[in-house]
Amino acid sequence: MEGALAVNSVMMVVTVALCGAVPTSSPSQEELTKAQDYLSQFFSDMGVSAPNGTWRSALDSFEDTLKKMQEFFGLEVTGQLDSNTLQVMARPRCGFTDVLKYSHFDGRPKWDKTVVTYRITDYTPDLSQSDVDATLAKALKLYSDVIPLDFRQIHSGTADIMIMFKAQEHGDFAPFDGENGVLAHAFSPAEGRGGDTHFDEDENWTLTSTGANLFLVAAHEFGHALGLAHSQVQTALMFPTYQYVNTEGYTLPDDDRQGVQAIYGVRETSVQPTIKPVPQPAPEPEPAPDMCSRNLIFDAVTSIGRNLYFFKDGHFWRRSSRWGGIVMKKIQSVWPGISKVDAAYEYKIRNTVVFFEGDHYWAISGNTVLRGYPKPLSDFGFSQSVTKVDAAVHVSVTGRTLLFVNNRYWSYNERRGRMDAGYPKFIHKELPGIGFRVDAAFESRGYLYFSYGSEQKEYHYLRRRVLRTLLNYRWMDCN
């Protein structure tokens, strides 16, 4: 009977650093009830080996089950509702029972075919349909790279794995619970509803470190759709709590690979006949940007000490104030791990420079990235809708840093470490004459320079007046 199906649902949650446990001597009735519900939902399927070799339910004792939950999450095993335990219970998380290391659903269900089809019936408006298609295909490829199973998207009819984005009640007896609760869930392999994967539309679906990263959540859910349960290995994709990791070049962690290969076997790479390779010419290095092009567009510009740094396509030019020479280098040759700079500014009082790339930023001192970086843009005070900073400049006479995003800008109070009230404001209204957008901005000899395209405006900030218009390449000492 459909109503009796066990919903093998899963969700991923944001992890937070926990400090030492603080005893909760007398939890409230509400806390106790929530804890009982939590253990009943997530740990009721765990068994405890009895001395006679039989198995008894792990819910024979509230205290025993609580200890198992604490042990699973690496908490201090007290059997009491201390503050850390309540914190973990309060997190949004997976709806499936927790288990040890990699594990499989009872009976080890699997797809007895070589090609599994999937269909997306309802898309999220948070991302374009093409982005959703590409992201889910990328998540499934994590598995097809290591097991002899291929996935094919279809656009009509019934697929093996039916995928949808829906909020609240959505027809499977496991309604979602709103934003920041259960992110998604999936059914184990079977006919009918088996393998189906559902995402909570109340979440903010993204491809970045903000909101719910669709690639990481989908990859976890598809693990369930292929027959994987949860793992206690904290670095595993199938660990029940979620922490954002860089998805560039992401591959299936060893624990998950071992688990899925235990079900389906190892994908063998096709053996090609030995052919004597034909010598190929070495690839030509990617040409460096032309600093003397009249159409030169800067990614970012900032002062660092007495020099000006102009960033373009993974490179930078350093213009020294002490002599007329200009030196070009790759960004990674000076700051390893930073491949591109979208915006940058120097805060001389702290002797630091801030680089922005995509949805995160670094703080730099000299050639050293400071500890704890990169950090997400939200730490700077931006809303989650901001995924890239176009330009930044620190205005020394006001002690404020101006941060440009599309056609608006923010004012950041460096001394207080927060955004000024009343922002963002429209660029063309508050900074008349410089236009609607800014690609790069910097301060030099008391003036601000705002670049857009190949042109820039020399600007008197206090008077809010453009002094002259220049071409970017003029800073490169070109004839």
Tokens of 262: 């235990």
Contacting residues for 469 by C-beta, under 8 A, at least 6 apart: 455, 456, 457, 458
Closest CA to 96 of 5, 202, 6: 6
Tokens of 104: 């499989």
Contacting residues for 333 by C-beta, under 8 A, at least 6 apart: none
For residues 185 and 355, give the distance between their C-alpha atoms in angstroms, rounded to a whole number.
37
For residues 186 and 11, give the distance between their C-alpha atoms in angstroms, rounded to a whole number.
9
What's phi and psi for 223, nearest 5 deg? -60, -45
Strand order in the sheet with 326-330: 300-304, 307-312, 315-319, 326-330
Contacting residues for 198 by C-beta, under 8 A, at least 6 apart: 163, 164, 165, 166, 170, 172, 176, 184, 185, 186
For residues 259 and 257, give the distance between their C-alpha atoms in angstroms, rounded to a whole number.
5
For residues 469 and 451, give the distance between their C-alpha atoms in angstroms, rounded to a whole number.
10
DSSP H or E segment with residue 103: none
Closest CA to 84 of 138, 35, 125, 145: 35
The type of residue at 378 is S
Closest CA to 197 of 180, 185, 189, 188: 185
For residues 218 and 137, give the distance between their C-alpha atoms in angstroms, rounded to a whole number.
10
For residues 310 and 343, give the distance between their C-alpha atoms in angstroms, rounded to a whole number.
10
The CA distances from residue 126 to 120, 154, 168, 256, 398, in Å, are 15, 22, 17, 29, 38
Query: What residues are labeled active site?
Result: 221
Determine contact, residues 273/280, Cβ cutoff 8 Å: no
Report DSSP letters for 53-101, one per residue.
S-EEETTS-HHHHHHHHHHHTT----SS--HHHHHHHHS---SSPP-SS
What's phi and psi for 56, nearest 5 deg? -120, 160
